[in-house]
Copies of this chain bind each other. A is one copy, B any other.
Amino acid sequence: MICIFVTGGTFDKTYDEIRGQLSFGETHLPEMLRLGRSRVEVSIERLMMIDSLDMTERDRALIVRRCAECSGSRIVITHGTDTMVETAAAIAHEVAGKTIVLTGAMIPYAFGSSDGLFNLGSALAFAQTLPHGTWVAMNGRCFRWDDVRKNRASGVFEECGG
């Protein structure tokens, strides 16, 4: 059983056609798992639905607490890409004995040409196979929480030495 915690991010952004803006509604996770015909046993819990640039220390503390509390030892977290590495660090400092994989998307799932489904598939696979620790799964790769950064110019995740 994998616990999936939803926090929002580009992954779950949608288009508000009345206001002509990006916004958050319901999470697309259940629909994405259906599309992928996933048979992985999961529980989905929505912790928040926000842009990761708006994430406060309080929000981050909630994510850490839910990771510590949840009974399973394998966790996937969907998260905005801009502060994913900060949240990974916060978790790594507080939670031990679990495999925790953060993932996200550069393009909203709802917008057709999204990397979200690819990332979700890889994150669920990494969560099933990697040893305990906190990881970031993006671009088909998996990074240790303390050796990854988002290259803001290219939108790609890379090792800090990379």
Q: Would you give the shortest CB distance from A67 to chain B, in whole angstroms? A: 20
Task: Known contacts A121-B117, A129-B130; decide if A38 and B108 are in contact (CB<8 Å).
Answer: no
Cβ contact within 8 Å between A35 and B115: yes
Cβ contact within 8 Å between B129 and A142: yes
Interface positions, chain A 63-115, Cβ under 8 Å from B, are 82, 106-108, 110-115
Q: In whole angstroms, what is the CA distance A158 to B37 when docked?
A: 13
By the criterion of a CB under 8 Å from any partner CB, how many residues of chain A are at the interface? 52
Q: Would you give the shortest CB distance from A55 to chain B, in whole angstroms? A: 14
Q: A15-B108, A38-B140 are in contact. List 12 more A-B contacts (CB 8 A).
A: A17-B107, A18-B152, A35-B113, A36-B115, A37-B140, A39-B158, A108-B111, A118-B120, A120-B121, A122-B125, A125-B142, A129-B130
0/1 interface trace, chain A 17-46, chain B, CB 8 Å (1 if under): 110111000000000110111111000000
Task: Known contacts A118-B35, A121-B122; decide if A15 and B111 are in contact (CB<8 Å).
Answer: yes
Q: Would you give the shortest CB distance from A24 to chain B, in whole angstroms? A: 13
Q: In whole angstroms, what is the CA distance A35 to B105 when docked?
A: 11
Cβ contact within 8 Å between B37 and A156: yes
Q: Would you give the shortest CB distance from A149 to chain B, in whole angstroms? A: 13
Residues of B within 8 A of A122 (CB): 121-122, 124-125
Residues of B within 8 A of A137 (CB): 125
Cβ contact within 8 Å between B115 and A37: yes
Q: In whole angstroms, what is the CA distance A111 to B33 when docked?
A: 17
Q: Would you give the shortest CB distance from A114 to chain B, in whole angstroms? A: 8
